[in-house]
Structure 1
Amino acid sequence: MQTPITSKASAGLGLRRGLMKDLLAAPAGHFDFLEVAPENWIGIGGAHGAALRELAERYPLSCHGLSLSLGGPSPLDVGFLEEVRVFLDQHNVPLYSEHLSYCSDDGHLYDLLPLPFTEEAVHHVAARIRQAQDILGRRLAVENVSYYAAPQQDMDEVTFTNAVLREADCDLLLDVNNVYVNSINHGFYPRSFLAGIDANRVVAMHIAGHFDESDTLKIDTHGASVKPAVWSLLSEAYARFGAQPTLLERDFNFPAFCELVVELQTIRRLQTQEVGRGHSFAA
């Protein structure tokens, strides 16, 4: 039986059907944990369900949701949250995260839409996070998202994010690639974002590749290798928040599995360097 993630310095991959054969065949040590979207796996049987059970016995799981729509106007799907709680308990999952955004309004919109950075939005989404945590019986981590349109912004993203974390009393899954993409698209310094985030709330990180549309427009795709500038920012994030569990996100356009292993090794190297400095957490 697998045990939960116990080391902050750990590297994981997303459980994608396109990677299933490689994940099942991978020798021990290539990755430390697997992340699943519960929407895609709750109630799944057959060959995919058997593969999930086998992998869950060998590796710790984390869960990253896609459809909870924490910032949306429609009531939270209580039935779905109750199913998620059963799934988390069944697989001994230590971390469930969702996006600090919304994706539904009387139907699923199939996109992660940005929230306005307003006091009203802080109160709205924080109340929904608290409700979700009550139903789940555990803390929730929210992820900073990439966004391309900016609705009403009475405060900057860091101030908004910290306000939500504080009022909801929840954690942060820091997506380093999203910080970089947003910094280019919206003209702020990514180091300033890292410096402003409440360090005590960060419990995990994501890193991914993006598409360079132009020098001033980056598109978060999860379909390419991690860029050098994002690796550099990940190193700075470790210096600020410690060597947190880090997921390499790759959702499509999969390379040879050995190329993903090389990226996982880069995560491990950066984590080892940070731990070796002797200050794995900086408040």
Structure 2
Amino acid sequence: MSEHAKVGLGLRREMLDEFCQGSPEEINFFEVAPENWMTLGGKYGRQFKQLTEQHEFFCHGLSLSIGGPAELDVQFVKNIKSFMDEHNISVYSEHLSYCSGTGHMYDLMPIPFTEEAVHYVANRVKQVEDILERPLILENVSFYAAPGAQMSEVEFVTAVLNEANCKMLLDVNNIYVNSVNHQYDASQFLRAMPTERIAYLHIAGHYEEDKDLIVDTHGADVVSPVWDLLAECYDVHGVFPTLLERDFNIPKTHILLNEINKISQYQQTAIGAISRRA
């Protein structure tokens, strides 16, 4: 297997019993939100430790609030570092958004697309990395309004990545969702992303509320246009580790493996095409 031809799954608590008995070989790594796991003890804590000793894990955070107006929660970042140290996890990604101000909003809010915000976020990225002693990987997010925007989403995302000199978690579904909601060309956005910044990919399902309004839910099967965009991503940028996000309406594992295996098939097809071009 190519180092980059790996397929992952977001681990949910209800999967612990099954996967501690044995994880499907088709799943090459797991991803967790550290906030949901780092305070667990007892049976769950023991099961989680068993899995992290046996498998590769990535962390994908929910509440760092890298673009938030409040001061960075340094103790929270230190807790993340301790959790990653304990479980020998090196990969930490977060959303290029914010979720706190005077309080925690329990949702991901869009950072204004401005030069000032670019500098602000880049400085905070460096602060986080200094504490974690690891890179911080930023994800392009789905958003439903762009208050105070002075730049396009493409310009903002690439400017942050460049100024912070950090890697990117490229979420293919989020590109598609935003392209429908904000009426831009998903392929153009995808191709504008800096290949050298990409660390890994996300793919997921969503909910179509209307023909021009999609909600990023991670609660459904991946749709054909998103699969097509994933294939194009591999063709344009090369093959990267790719994670299937499924946060609710989670089917049985043998059903989930259909999409896991489909990702793997897309990766192998892309590797073959790249080899033929070389």
TM (norm. structure 2) is 0.96
The alpha-carbon deviation at position 24 of structure 1 amounts to 2.8
1:240 maps to what in 2? 236
Q: Does residue 1:216 correspond to 2:216, yes or no?
A: no
Could you say if the C-alpha distance between residues 66 and 279 of structure 1 is closer, same or farther in structure 2, counting changes exceeding 3 Å? farther
3-state secondary structure, aligned to 2:105:
strand
Offset from partner CA, 1:122-179 (integer Å, 9 cap, x none)? 1111111111111111211000110111112211111100100011111100000000
Of 218, 225, 228 in structure 2, the residue corresponding to residue 229 of structure 1 is 225
Q: Does residue 1:267 correspond to 2:269, yes or no?
A: no
Tell me, in whole angstroms, the C-alpha distance in 2 between the residues paired with 1:49 and 1:27.
17
2:15 maps to what in 1? 19
Q: Does residue 1:112 correspond to 2:115, yes or no?
A: no
Q: What are the within-5 Å matches in structure 2 for residues 118-197 of structure 1?
A: 118-197=114-193
> Cα RMSD between the aligned structures?
1.8
Give the conservation status (yes or no) of the 8 Å contact 1:242–1:280: no
Give the conservation status (yes or no) of the 8 Å contact 1:243–1:280: no
Give the conservation status (yes or no) of the 8 Å contact 1:12–1:31: yes
Out of 158-167 and 27-36, give the one that drifted further: 27-36
3-state secondary structure, aligned to 1:277:
helix
3-state secondary structure, aligned to 1:278:
helix
3-state secondary structure, aligned to 2:274:
coil
Out of 103-112 and 147-156, give the one that drifted further: 147-156
Tell me, in whole angstroms, the C-alpha distance in 2 between the residues paired with 1:127 and 1:156.
21
Could you say if the C-alpha distance between residues 280 and 260 of structure 1 is closer, same or farther in structure 2, counting changes exceeding 3 Å? farther
The alpha-carbon deviation at position 30 of structure 1 amounts to 2.6
Matched letter for residue 105 of structure 1: G
How many pairs are equivalent? 278
Give the conservation status (yes or no) of the 8 Å contact 1:238–1:244: yes
Offset from partner CA, 1:151-209 (integer Å, 9 cap, x none)? 12211111100100011111100000000000000010011011111111001000000
Give the conservation status (yes or no) of the 8 Å contact 1:175–1:205: yes
Give the conservation status (yes or no) of the 8 Å contact 1:239–1:280: no
Give the conservation status (yes or no) of the 8 Å contact 2:170–2:200: yes
Matched letter for residue 129 of structure 2: Q
2:5 maps to what in 1? 9
Q: Does residue 1:103 correspond to 2:99, yes or no?
A: yes
Offset from partner CA, 1:97-120 (integer Å, 9 cap, x none)? 000000001221000000111111
3-state secondary structure, aligned to 2:209:
strand
Matched letter for residue 54 of structure 2: R
1:71 maps to what in 2? 67
The alpha-carbon deviation at position 264 of structure 1 amounts to 0.1
Q: Which runs of 5+ in 2 are unaligned?
A: none
Give the conservation status (yes or no) of the 8 Å contact 2:97–2:110: yes
Of 31, 37, 47 in structure 2, the residue corresponding to residue 41 of structure 1 is 37
3-state secondary structure, aligned to 1:13:
strand
Give the conservation status (yes or no) of the 8 Å contact 1:223–1:253: yes
The alpha-carbon deviation at position 28 of structure 1 amounts to 4.1
Matched letter for residue 91 of structure 2: L
Matched letter for residue 122 of structure 2: A
Matched letter for residue 82 of structure 2: V
